Amino acid sequence: MKTGFVPLDDGFELRFAGLTVLRHSAACPAVSVARGEPDITMYRGNYRIADAPRERSAPGSWQRDGEGVVLGDAAGPVARLALDGNRLVVTALRPGDDRLWVRFHADPGETVWGGGEQMSYLAVNGRRFPIWTSEPGVGRDKSTELTRIMDAEGMAGGDYWTTNYPQPTFLTSRWLAVHLDANCYSVLDFSDPACHGVEAWAGEAAFELFADTGPIGLVGQLSSRFGRQPPLPDWAIGGAIVGLKAGLDSFERLEGFLAAGTVVTGLWCEDWAGVRQTSFGRRLFWDWHISDRSRARYPDLAARIAALKARGIRFLAYANPYLCNDGDLFAEGVAGGHFALRQDSDEVYLVDFGEFDCGVVDFTRPETRAWFAERVLGQEMLDQGMAGWMADFGEYLPTDVRLADGSDPMEAHNRWPVLWAEVNAMALASRGQTGEAVFFMRAGFSGVGAHCPMLWAGDQSVDFTRHDGIGTVITGALSAGLVGNAYSHSDCGGYTSLHGNVRTAELLRRWAELAAFAPMMRSHEGNRPDDNLQYDSDPDLLACFARWSRVHAALAPYVRHLSDEAAETGLPLQRPLFLHYPDDPALFAVQDQYLYGADLLVAPVIEAGQTERRVVLPGEGAWRHVWTGADYPAGTHTVAAPFDAPPVFYRPDSRFAALFAGLAGALAG
C-alpha cells in the first residue's frame, strides 16, 4: 500500500507515498497524551516555559475505526488517528487531555532539517527545538560569559534553539516533510535517533505530510503550501542600502558613501520617528508618524525623500506593532479600541520594552488591522514616499493579554508575526506597491512568507562567535529557505554591542564580503553606534564597503534570474549544498557555505583571524575561482581567503559565466 494504515504482526504503520511515516506497537506506542500544567514567564520578549503534565498515557492497544485507528489502554479509548489526503489528524479522546506526543518513524542514519529559521544548526539531529517565537537572546551559548551575564540580567542570554522565527515543520533525507498545522506551543524533538518526536500543547493536532523524489521538489511543495514572495524590485538588488540613524546628518554622511564610489540604491533611517536613550543604547521612539519630534530630527522629510528618489535612491524607515504610551498615536489607538487589554480590567495592557512601556496593537480585530495599515503604514510612511521599512518585532505577545477575538493568547502568540506581516502587506497593496516597496521582518511563523517579501536575520552580536555572530546568518538563511522563504539578508556589521563587545575592522570587512552575496545588502549602525566602528569611520572601511557594493550591483542580473526562479519554483536564493547534490550525505550538515542559485558557491570567512578556509566543491567537474580564474576539481580544498578575496566559485559552463568572471573587475573598480 502506498498510503494508509497497514497492519503489522505487533501493531500497524502509517505509510504516505510509499514511505513509513509512523509505526505503532504495544512496546513502542506512536502516541501518548496527558493534561498539562504550564508555567510561563515573559520578560522583554524572553520566555521561560515549563510544564508538569499529569495522567500521561501511552496507549498500546489499537483497533480499526473506519479509515482511521483508535488507540486505547486498560481504561478505554485514548486517541484517534485519521488520514485524509495528506493530513494526519491526531485527537485525544479523554476529556481534559491537552498534550499530545507523536513519534514519527526515523530510518537509521536519517538526517533531519527544519524548525523554521534556526541560527545554530542546519541539520537538527540529536537536539530538541521548542517552537515559540521570541527574542533569540544575546550570546545564545550557555558556556560563554556574555550569555551568563545576559541571563542574569533578564533571561536574555538565549540558547541554540531560541529564534525569532520558529516553525513546526521538519524535512528528512528520505525526502519526506511533516508540518504541524497549529499555532500552539510545540516541540520538535530529534534527540532519539529512533524517532522524530513532536509535542503539541493541544487536544487535537493535524500533521500535513509531503513527499518527493528529492529535496528540490520537496522545498517547492513547502513553498507552495506556505506562500511565495513576489520577485524583488530592481532597486533592492542593484546595490547597497546604507543604514544611518543620525538625523539630518544622515544625508550628509550618505554623500560620503557616494563620493567613495559606493553603489547606493537606498538610505535606511530607522530613527525617522525620533529616538530615546536607554541603558541598552540608542533606541527608537515608538510612535510611527510625522510629529514635532520627527520633524526636528528630519526636517522636510518628504521633500528629501523625493530628491533622493530623483537620484535613484530610495528611502526606507522602520515600524513595529507597538505604540509607546508617551507618544501621540497612543491616545488615538485607545480611542479607537485598537489595543489588547488586561484580563482583569478594560485597561490597555502595557509591555515593558526596556525603560519605556507600549500598548500591543490588537491585530485579531479587523478594524485595527485596517487602521494600522492605512493610518500608520499608509499615510505616515508610504504617502511620504518611503519605499520600504524594517517591520520589526512581532515576538512579544504576552500570554496573559485579552484579545478582541477572544482567542487564547497562548495560541495567538506564534500567530502574531503572521498577522503583523499581513498588515504590512495590506498597506503595500492599498497603494499598489506590492513588489515595488519592500518591508523586511525578523519574526515569523508558518505562513509568514505569503505576506512578507524579505527576511532579515535579526540582532546578531558584533563578533565571530559560533552561536550569535556573523556565521549564524548563513545558517538562518539556509534553514528558513527550506520552509518557503526565498529571500534573507542580515545587518551588515551586526547589531548587538553590550558589555564591551564592539565591532572590529576585521568583522566589518568580512561582513561586507558576505552581504554582497545576499539578495539585499544593507548596513546597520547597531544599538550603540557611538561605541562602535561604522563603515564611514575611516577611509579604508568606506572603500571596502564601496567595493563590495559594486560586486552586489554587478550580480543583479543573476539575482534577477534567481528571483524569477523563486517565484516560479519556490527555491530560495541561498541554498544548502545538498539541495542540488542530494546523493552525497557528506553535504547534509554543511552550513558554513552555500550555493547562491545553482551556479555560484560562496564560502564566506566567518572566523576571526582566518586567512584560508576549507571549502567543499560538490558534484563533478570543475569549479572556477572568481578572483583568480583558476579551476578546482570537485572535492574538498583548503583555499586562500585574504581580505577582499573570500572563496567564491562558479560553474564554468553557467550561462552567467561571463558575469561571474567580471566580478573581480567590479571589485577593483
Residues designated catalytic:
392, 395, 459
Find, among 378, 514, 363, the residue nearest to 437 by Cα: 378
Side chain identity at 161, as an amino acid letter?
A: W
Residue 170's alpha-carbon distances to 118, 125, 409, 627, in angstroms, are: 12, 11, 25, 37
Find, among 606, 489, 483, the residue nearest to 552 by Cα: 489
CB 323 within 8 A of CB 286: yes
Residue with cell 571589485: 667
List, in order, residues 6 or more apart from 114 with CB less than 8 Å away. Answer: 124, 167, 169, 170, 171, 177, 188, 479, 482, 483
Residue with cell 556589521: 493
Give the C-alpha separation, 40 to 400, whole Å. 10
Strand order in the sheet with 600-602: 574-575, 594-596, 600-602, 648-650, 612-625, 631-640
C-alpha Rg value of the chain to the nearest Å: 25
**Residue 232 carries which DSSP code?**
P
Residue 380's alpha-carbon distances to 236, 272, 289, in angstroms, are: 22, 11, 5
Secondary structure class of 611 (helix, strand, coil): coil
Cβ-count burial of 570 within 10 angstroms (0-12 exposed, 13-18 middle, 19+ buried)? buried
* Residue 108 CB coordination number (10 Å): 6
CB 526 within 8 A of CB 495: yes
CB 544 within 8 A of CB 511: no
Give the C-alpha separation, 177 to 218, whole Å. 7
603 Rama class: left (phi>0) / alpha (psi -120 to 50) / beta: beta
List, in order, residues 6 or more apart from 133 with CB less than 8 Å away. Answer: 163, 164, 165, 166, 394, 395, 413, 414, 416, 417, 443, 444, 445
Q: For 503, how many CA atoms within 13 A lie in the half-sphere containing its CB? A: 28
Residue with cell 578572483: 627
